[in-house]
Amino acid sequence: MKSIPLPPTTLAPQPYTGPSAAEVLALRQRYLNPGLFLYYKRPLMLVEGKMQYVWDETGRRYLDGIGGILTVSVGHCHPHVVAAANRQNETIQHTTTIYLQPAVAHYAEKLASKLPGDLKVCYFVNSGSEANDLALLMARAYTGAYDVIALRNAYHGGNASGMSMTAQSTWKFNVPHSFGVHHAVAPYPYRGVYGYDDADAGRKYAEDVKSLIDHATPGRVAGFIAESIMGVGGFVVFPHGYLHHAYEHVRAAGGVCIADEVQTGFGRTGTHYWGFESQGVIPDIVTMAKGIGNGAPLAAVVTTPKIAAVLTQKVHFNTFGGNPVVSVIGQAVLEVIDRENLQANCLTLGRHLLEGLEKLKARHAIIGDVRGQGLMLGIEFVKDRVTKEPGRELCAQVVENARELGLLLGKGGLWSQTIRIAPPMCLTRADADFILAVLDEAIGAAGK
């Protein structure tokens, strides 16, 4: 493969004096969960990050094309976010909600202002899995029903309730879960029955939600949960109208509608601040995590006052949710998104990248599909475009090749056949062109 220079930058890492990658790997193998996995055949150790770049222990720079798995939203160690955290760390680091604390109150007000309709009550937790667990509890407590509709190919977390709503065998342990959860057909135009050429695909896919309600439930449901764009499932974008029709069926059965914005929120999709807005709907409950805290352990559930009131029936408490440090970090993230026009940047560069990916698809036969919105883009690899046999090994090799060229990417899809591109939202045009050049070289080498 030919070398491709990274865009020039004034950012530079500090000298690294810590343990070697081999020493860290040995410690990890001895003391950390053996179920943890590594992306690369030759493990990569990252010791510093600034904005859209990260450095390994040798001082080599990489463009972070997956943003810590969509978690670094405004940039690694963004100075405004770091300064806010440092100031709070020097005053008080932790209180719980049994006391008044201004940081969480101000943050809740700011976050609620970003949501449409009556979505104005915030509950803070620590991860997307926790947020989806709480949303499920709210839906069941509010409606008095138990059954929930989720989607095949979805991912909603690694805890018991998240695993129950997830519909990929890779992420589901053989333990009791999934009671009352039913999975509708995924609205997946590339692999589904209704493709990109069917203008009515959204309505047709949503009919399976109605069918499940009629055949697999008592006719009443607690709710419906869907990612606004499937994340772990391979950045699958729903056909137009899907959520509108699905929400209609669910609400007619007494259920509430939950939008999982863990990966799609905060302007990443470009056209809107929230992914669900591109479908023209307003959910009853929204869950969010990852980019909400730019890497800090922060997540939230936002709902209506009427639904939120169900939590007063019992005691519900989260020790760390919304503590002062993560609250000021969350507010700083919102401020950066606004001040630096990052949503608009996602829209502009996302369109540029998608146009470039379409050209790569025309050049490389191993690309079956390219898709996405804003800076949330997927490339699905196949061994054959006619049979659409998943190209898992091809995808893995492209990821390896890209790493050697200085670009870090993610993988997704049921068969790990899809590259996920979701860099920090501070990406530049030069960075985007670098991504396209690296992908062209990496895909070409993998397809030989």
The yes/no answer on whether domain 81-339 falls in CATH 3.30.2270.10 is: no
In Å, what is the CA distance from 277 to each residue of 38, 42, 134, 191, 411? 35, 41, 22, 24, 26
And the tokens for 250? 């669910």
And the tokens for 175? 């333990």
Task: Give, for all 448 residues of the chain, the pLDDT tens digit.
Answer: 899 999 999 999 999 999 999 999 999 999 999 988 899 999 999 999 999 999 999 999 999 999 999 999 999 999 999 999 999 999 999 999 999 999 999 999 999 999 999 999 999 999 999 999 999 999 999 999 999 999 999 999 999 999 999 999 999 999 988 899 999 999 999 999 999 999 999 999 999 999 999 999 999 999 999 999 999 999 999 999 999 999 999 999 999 999 999 999 999 999 999 999 999 999 999 999 999 999 999 999 999 999 999 999 999 999 999 999 999 999 999 999 999 999 999 999 999 999 999 999 999 999 999 999 999 999 999 999 999 999 999 999 999 999 999 999 999 999 999 999 999 999 999 999 999 999 999 999 998 7
Q: Are 307 and 340 in contact (CB under 8 A)?
A: no
Contacts for 15 with CB less than 8 Å, ≥ 6 apart:
none
Q: Tell me the residue ranges of DSSP E strands in 169-307.
A: 181-184, 223-227, 229-230, 236-237, 256-260, 285-288, 299-303
Question: Model-level pTM?
Answer: 0.97
CATH assignment, 21-70+341-446: 3.90.1150.10
Q: How many CA atoms are closer than 13 Å to the CA of 166, on its beta-carbon side? A: 25
Q: Are 243 and 281 in contact (CB under 8 A)?
A: yes
- Domain range summary for the chain, segments of one domain joined by +: 21-70+341-446, 81-339
